[in-house]
């Protein structure tokens, strides 16, 4: 009898290190219910010529304000040239080509004077050459601001110009605020993810400092705060990124490839695939596909489709 009691006590207290296996349920990193979803990347062509950029930003400003009023939700895909110009607008309120308008008229060199005259395509005959430059600067600023009060006979000052520059900067500042308030999301299209390397040095690669992985991907890819779509990846780099062996510091990465559609998720980072055939959905019954479309701002204003990243993952 004592042996039986001892065995029972041993079983109850001597086996306290046994842990029952718990059912671990992985938390789904989406804010949506199960189902089929599509993320539509609306590619808007961004112009290269300054005159066309000027027109584009007027249309973009109108598009954003209407989208805000109508509570529209869209994802716009822009080439990197847009983001470079937009960064300049965020920092200075001006496009790179417009910085010549802020310079003191008397300080412009011959090359700068030539560029300024190209902006307006109009020349004034003045005894004072400085006044010619100043009038061209002011005329351009008034045109951008859609101000028709330019007076050829008036003697303008640098103070007159400064007032116009401040008006333009404030106008552009409003544009950046509207973007942030609206539900329009932007994605950066990286068509060439590789740095230019001299043929003699082609065999050498740049190391990814964070993960000690060899790759010749451009270092500046890591700095973008927006979601990025990368095209023209080598198979080796596609595998490194999809396996999270390269830290690109982007929460949302989209990879164009010829094999997969779907997505992966790893430690707070989302990787989406488009362009392929084989379906790869990390979570059952969450079928999320990326679709690419070439559109115009006018067409996008009339028709929206798909789910946005904020709707998908929050934030």
**68-81 pLDDT per residue, tens:** 999 999 999 999 99
Query: How far is the C-alpha of 87 from the C-alpha of 179, rounded, in Å?
Result: 13
C-beta separation of 254 from 215 below 8 A: no
Task: For residue 46, give the DSSP letter.
Answer: P
- The per-residue pLDDT for 21 is 37
- The per-residue pLDDT for 223 is 78
- The per-residue pLDDT for 119 is 84
Give the CA-trace dihedral at 272, 276, 277, 283, to 10 degrees.
Answer: -10
> What does residue 283 show for φ and ψ, rounded to 5 degrees?
-115, 135
Kindly give the parts of the chain with pLDDT less than 50: 1-25, 197-211
Query: How far is the C-alpha of 259 from the C-alpha of 229, rounded, in Å?
Result: 16
> What does residue 287 show for φ and ψ, rounded to 5 degrees?
-95, 100
- The per-residue pLDDT for 127 is 66
User: Which pTM does this prediction carry?
Assistant: 0.83
User: Which of 199, 173, 189 lies closest to 91, judged by CA?
Assistant: 173
- The per-residue pLDDT for 126 is 61
The H-assigned helical ranges of 233-283 are: 235-242
- The per-residue pLDDT for 10 is 44
Rama region for 249: left / alpha / beta (φ>0; ψ in -120 to 50; rest):
left
Encoding tokens for residue 286?
């969450």
């Amino acid at each position: 009898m004592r042996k039986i009691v001892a065995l029972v006590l041993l079983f109850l207290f001597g086996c306290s290190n046994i842990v029952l296996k718990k059912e671990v349920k992985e938390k789904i990193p989406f804010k949506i219910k199960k189902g089929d979803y599509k993320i539509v990347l609306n590619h808007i062509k961004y112009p290269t010529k300054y005159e066309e950029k000027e027109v584009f930003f007027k249309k973009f400003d109108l598009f954003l304000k209407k989208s805000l009023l109508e509570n529209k939700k869209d994802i716009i895909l822009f080439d990197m040239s847009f983001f470079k110009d937009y960064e300049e607008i965020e920092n200075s309120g001006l496009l790179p080509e417009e910085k010549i308008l802020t310079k003191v008229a008397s300080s412009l060199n011959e090359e700068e004077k030539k560029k300024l005259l190209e902006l307006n395509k109009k020349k004034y005959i003045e005894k004072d050459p400085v006044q010619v430059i100043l009038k061209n600067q002011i005329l351009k600023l008034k045109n951008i601001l859609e101000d028709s009060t330019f007076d050829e006979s008036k003697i303008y000052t640098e103070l007159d110009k400064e007032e116009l520059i401040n008006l333009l900067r404030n106008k552009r500042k409003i544009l950046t605020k509207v973007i942030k308030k609206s539900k329009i999301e932007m994605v950066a299209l990286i068509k060439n993810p590789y740095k230019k390397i001299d043929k003699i040095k082609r065999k050498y690669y740049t190391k990814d400092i964070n993960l000690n992985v060899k790759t010749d991907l451009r270092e500046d890819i890591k700095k973008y705060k927006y979601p990025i779509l990368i095209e023209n990846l080598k198979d080796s780099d596609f595998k490194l990124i999809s396996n999270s062996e390269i830290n690109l510091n982007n929460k949302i990465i989209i990879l164009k490839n010829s094999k997969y559609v779907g997505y992966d998720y790893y430690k707070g980072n989302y990787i989406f695939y488009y362009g392929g055939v084989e379906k790869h959905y990390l979570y059952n019954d969450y079928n999320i596909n990326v679709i690419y479309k070439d559109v115009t701002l006018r067409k996008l204003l009339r028709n929206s489709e798909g789910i946005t990243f904020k709707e998908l993952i929050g934030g």
